[in-house]
Structures are given as C-alpha cells and as structure tokens.
Amino acid sequence: MLDISYAKNTGHWEHWWPQYQFGAFYIFPPEEIMVLVDGLREQYDPKSAGICRAHISLSEPLDHPMTIEELEQLRSDLAGFKPFRISCGPIRMHPPYPGVTFTIQPEREFSELRSRIHGLPMFRDVEIKRSTIDPHMTIAEFITMERSIEIMEELQDKIPNCEFICDHIELAVPNDDFYFERVLRVTLGAGG
C-alpha cells in the first residue's frame, strides 16, 4: 500500500466533496506562475483558493486508494509520454457557467495525456464525466455570472500569458479540511 494519508474526519464536508476523497491527478504550474495565479484566486475567489493551489485538473477523482501496482503501471505508461509546453492564457469565461479561467493550450496533448491516464485499470470503474471540459486553470469559480463579467472586464488585457514545460503530473488528495495536498509526482517521458 502507498503511504498516502486520506481524510478521515469528513462529516462536515459539503455534499460534492466525498467524490474527491482519494484524490485526482493535476498539473501544477511552476512556483512563480502558481504564486501569480494563487494571488488572483485569493482576491477573486477565496473559497477556491482555500481548497487548492493553482492547478490544471487532469483526471477524474479516483474511487479507491491508489495501489503500488497502479502507481507502477502509471509510471510505466507515462514513461513513453513526451513532456510538452503548456501555454496559459488568455483569460476567458465558460458560459453558461460562471467563472473566469486561463485558457490552456495545446488541447491535443492535454487530451491525449488525460485519455492515457483514464485508460488505465485504476479508472476502470470510474465514470468519465469531465473529458469534454476544456483544459483550464481557474481564477474564480464559486461566483455569479455577473461577478464573472466584472472580473473579466477588470482583468482583460492586464494578465500576462505564461508558459511552462509539463514534465510531470501530481496526485493531490484532500485533507480533513478539504485542502488538497500534493502527495505523489509522476514524471513524463523518463520512466517515472
């Protein structure tokens, strides 16, 4: 069994939180980008900022604790996946849903990585619901449509685009307070 601590005191969790108990895979940008986006999240959506640092959601939540065998299979499979450059920006909205996010490109490589992960046995019994959601990095999501428009008007053309090399993914798991902690890193293209 992997040495990962999972939340145990979950009685106070909101109704949608338990599906994330065993974590999910994310792409976390480098620290200098994370600091910029975290600042925006804290300003425009403190609730989101209080759940997780800046990230790009990659997979569905796991429905069970990840095993050593599943980790070995993931590492083996991603050893053949070439690292790629991610571009973040410009910012956008996703009508009819409220929220403001950074656009993430290239969608093709991101979708291939997501499909590769979801094709593994650890996701065999997991309903794949998010595969049609465009890749994005959230600035604000727990807001109204009106507030989304205000944020877009305020930030449009003021937030620089950024780039980084995606050479790994990370499993992040929520603690008892539903704050996601990065617990496992898997390298792309180098044998894990």
* pTM (2 d.p.): 0.94
Residue 189 has pLDDT above 70, yes or no: yes
Domain, as residue range, for 153: 29-187
* pLDDT recorded at residue 192: 42
Residue 47 lies in a domain: yes
Residue 191 has pLDDT above 90, yes or no: no
Reduce the secondary structure of 60-80 to three states and give it as a string.
Answer: CCCCCCCCHHHHHHHHHHHCC
* CATH number for the domain that contains residue 163: 3.90.1140.10
Query: What DSSP state is assigned to residue 31?
Result: H
Residue 10 lies in a domain: no
Residue 1 has pLDDT above 80, yes or no: no
Look at 12-16, 128-132, 137-141, 172-176 and tell me which has the smallest mean pLDDT. Answer: 128-132
* pLDDT recorded at residue 2: 86
Provide the number of structural domains found in the chain: 1
